[in-house]
Amino acid sequence: MSGTWANMTAADLGRGIGTGKINPVELAEAFLDRIETHPLAPRIYARATPARARGEAMAAAARAKAGLRKGLLDGVPVSWKDLFDTAGVATEAGSALLKGRTPDRDAAVLETATLQGLVCLGKTHMSELAFSGLGLNPVTATPPCLNDDKAVPGGSSSGAAASVAFGLAPAAIGSDTGGSVRIPAAWNDLVGLKTTAGSLPLAGAVPLCERFDTIGPLAHSVEDCALLLAAISGDPVADLAGVDLSGARLAVLETVALDDLRNRPAQGFEDAVARLGRAGARIDRISVPEVAEAMALAATLFTAEAYGIWREVIEAAPQKMFPRILERFRSGAGVAAMDYVAGWRRLEDIRRIWIERTAVFDAVLLPTSPILPPDANRLMTDDAYYVTENLLALRNTRIGNLMGVCALTLPTSQPSCGISFLGAAGQEARLLRLGAAAERALL
């Protein structure tokens, strides 16, 4: 395969199709061949969908020839996390509990993306039932990490990130319940967008915690994320023209998010903040003490819902699960209904406080993760290490989910260290414009 194609953004590939320099069929075949021959591909793709990809690419080529392209990404191949239903193709969500599960129709977002001309390359490996930010999955596969071949890649959209980072897809669609798009994006030097809960239909997406589940893209650029969001939503593409950081008001969140930062994530974050300031942004530092209270509610709200959804399936065959993930699900069994209801009522109060404290800012900044990708083998053998790293991995990203906002992670000067921008709920277009300006400042 052309090394140029493997490393190009989805948008640039789309522009190549538009000018006639790239044929969608040849493009799809090139990526399918790379998936077939790359030594890491079995750890990245749960299964490819070559017949579907070829058919969709042929249709895209015909539209391009007739001057009837549906958009810039018409004919561009994309990978899909293996919790999005694909008609006639197994969707197992990284779990032996769902082995052989084959839906009869596509997930709603995949249907929309297909109508927009995206080409489905296949389904990527993920954390078991999406309940881990590490990307460690001894049940199916643990995908590789771009910057450390001994480390986990981040999860739960682990294969999604790896497919893009290793040139096996131009872009990927994942899901994010507590950081599952942003962590693997950050640890593999990609851009990742967490959308606002409820902004995209979850029909046909295997759930984890439906009140927190979101869908979002992982890609090489903010432009790609904007185009992919439009493709899976059917909405217009965010206008990224003329973006500039001059006058932007950004706030560094000092509550929780800066605690226990390892050296390189701290260095990458502070360097990025300084660059944003030099590009014209006004940087303030804020504390929102209620965020710490919200974080304490997470164990109640996430685990109770996750176990409530999966209890019957899990307890029918618990031996099929990785014990650490099984333990995490079962921790929801001890949550009292009154505590769950009270927890959600308090979280809604805290969300209103967050809006009041952050309304004057264009975005709130924080390190995407306080740690680097942990060592995969040590996670399997060192209990204390697993507990520490697992808790820290999703700590910062979970803030965005708890506050109910949209969020964007961008790479920094340090490998596997991202900086996150938290926008207001439902303001993805505005956040993407800000992200495009920040991306220029951080290059």
Helix or strand or coil: residue 193?
strand
Q: Which tokens hold the place of 428?
A: 């993805």
Q: Which tokens hold the place of 165?
A: 């980072």
DSSP string, 197-240: TTSS--TTB--S-TTT-EEEEEESSHHHHHHHHHHHH-SPPP--
Q: Which tokens hold the place of 293?
A: 């209270």
Average pLDDT over residues 340-349: 98
Separation of alpha carbons 129 and 325, rounded Å: 9
Please write the tens of the pLDDT for every residue from 138-165. 999 999 999 999 999 999 999 999 999 9
pLDDT recorded at residue 340: 98
Separation of alpha carbons 38 and 48, rounded Å: 13
Is 70 in the active site?
no
Q: Is 133 exposed, middle or buried, given 0-12, 13-18 or 19+ CB atoms closer than 10 A?
A: buried
Please write the tens of the pLDDT for every residue from 89-112. 999 999 999 999 999 999 999 999
Is 158 in the active site?
no
Starting from the edge strand earliest in sequence, which strands make up the sheet with 172-176, in order? 45-48, 119-124, 77-81, 172-176, 214-219, 191-194, 407-411, 418-422, 363-367, 249-253, 282-286
What residues does 375 pair with on adjacent strands? 151
Full set of structural domains in the chain with CATH: 3-233 (3.90.1300.10), 249-288+346-442 (3.90.1300.10), 292-334 (no CATH)
Please write the tens of the pLDDT for every residue from 393-424. 999 999 999 999 999 999 999 999 999 999 99
The alpha carbon torsion through 25, 30, 34, 35 (nearest 10 deg) reads: -10
Q: Is the pLDDT of residue 3 over 90?
A: no
Please write the tens of the pLDDT for every residue from 196-254. 999 999 999 999 999 999 999 999 999 999 999 999 999 999 999 999 999 999 999 99
Angle (nearest 5°) at CA 171 between 151 and 3: 80
Separation of alpha carbons 3 and 260, rounded Å: 39
pLDDT recorded at residue 223: 98
- Find the helix or strand (DSSP H, E) in which 337 lies: helix 337-358
Q: Which tokens hold the place of 161?
A: 């990130």
Helix or strand or coil: residue 279?
coil
| Options 132, 175, 180, 369, the catalytic residue | 180
pLDDT recorded at residue 120: 99
Average pLDDT, the chain: 98
Q: Is the pLDDT of residue 1 over 50?
A: no
Q: Is the pLDDT of residue 443 over 80?
A: yes
| Options 95, 156, 163, 221, the catalytic residue | 156
Angle (nearest 5°) at CA 261 between 292 and 160: 90
Please write the tens of the pLDDT for every residue from 165-195. 999 999 999 999 999 999 999 999 999 999 9
- Find the helix or strand (DSSP H, E) in which 52 lies: helix 50-66
Q: Angle between the 10-19 and 222-233 helix axes, to the nearest 10 degrees?
A: 70
Is 180 in the active site?
yes
Q: Is the pLDDT of residue 77 over 70?
A: yes
Name the band, by pLDDT with cuts 50, 70 and 90, for residue 297: very high
| Options 79, 81, 123, 369, the catalytic residue | 81
First-residue to last-residue Cα distance in the chain: 27
Round the CA-based radius of gyration of the chain to a whole number and report it. 20
